[in-house]
Amino acid sequence: MFSNIIETAFHLIFTLDKDLLEIISLSLRVTMSALVISIIISIPFGAFLVFYKNKFQSAIILISNTLMGMPPVVLGLIIYTLVSKKGIFGFLDILYTPTAMILAQTLLITPIIISLTYEEVYKKNKEINLLLDSLNLSNFVKLKTLIYECRFALVTVTLTGFGRASAEVGAVMIVGGNINHFTRVMTTAIAFETSRGSIELAVALGLILIFISLLITLLIRSFRRLK
């Protein structure tokens, strides 16, 4: 029986099953949208914190590190409360839409990218700080220089954020609702299809997620060698 399930799962993948492609496509759109929004905010902000040396810097880093470990279901519950009809942002009417899922993934990975960016830029700043000071550069130019010097490490940070977002299920299930042909992504589809006994599609999606995870791991390893 197990061999039949695997055979059917590979058949769905290699024949480009319509439902499978639809789920994968939405998953990638949601995750990539969240990732782009997050890195636009997080990388400059995380690098800026290196120069913002006062009591607020420590507080922000502490908060970011704490939020890295926040259970996704708690984040999903918070967003649900805020954007539901009775929430303060209920007028946006985004609950159970891909927009809410993008918001959840963005908020999930932003603390991760901020913290990891800060660590990478901080280490690089310690290495070349004397050189940058000797050139009498402004903090803005130093910031751009450090981000450029950390570019390979920051690609690794970005890939880490992508991997975390793509594997998320709890928060997106709460705010997205797992609506067929609208908000069903790979992780929520796996949970749903398994619960209803349609294991073949769940296995096919699981294989795709494993492949994505393997690809991210290989890319991270490659970029670490370039640091």
Q: Which domains does the chain have, with CATH numbers?
A: 2-226 (1.10.3720.10)
**What is the pLDDT at residue 225?**
74
**What is the pLDDT at residue 227?**
61
pLDDT tens, the chain, 227 aa long = 677 888 898 889 999 899 999 999 999 999 999 999 999 999 999 999 988 777 788 888 888 988 888 899 999 999 999 999 999 999 999 999 999 999 999 999 999 999 999 999 999 988 888 888 788 888 888 888 999 999 999 999 999 999 999 988 889 999 999 998 899 999 999 988 888 888 899 999 999 999 998 999 898 888 777 66
**What is the pLDDT at residue 53?**
74
CA–CA separation, 63 and 32 (whole Å): 25
Q: Which two tokens stand for residue 129?
A: 């700080």
**What is the pLDDT at residue 1?**
66
**What is the pLDDT at residue 89?**
94
**What is the pLDDT at residue 22?**
95
Which sign does the torsion angle of CA 82, 86, 89, 93 carry? positive
Buried b (16+ CB within 10 A) or exposed e, 17-42: bebbeebbebbeebbebbbebbbeeb
CA-based nearest residue to 219, from 166, 172, 158, 132:
158
**What is the pLDDT at residue 27?**
95
Calculated CA dihedral for residues 180, 202, 108, 122, nearest 10 degrees: -140
Angle made by CA atoms 190, 156, 183, in degrees to the nearest 5:
25
**What is the pLDDT at residue 135?**
83
Q: Which two tokens stand for residue 210?
A: 């494993």
CA-based nearest residue to 25, from 36, 17, 35:
17
Q: Which two tokens stand for residue 76?
A: 């999903």
Q: Which two tokens stand for residue 85?
A: 């009809």
Q: Which two tokens stand for residue 137?
A: 């550069």
DSSP SS3 for 54: coil
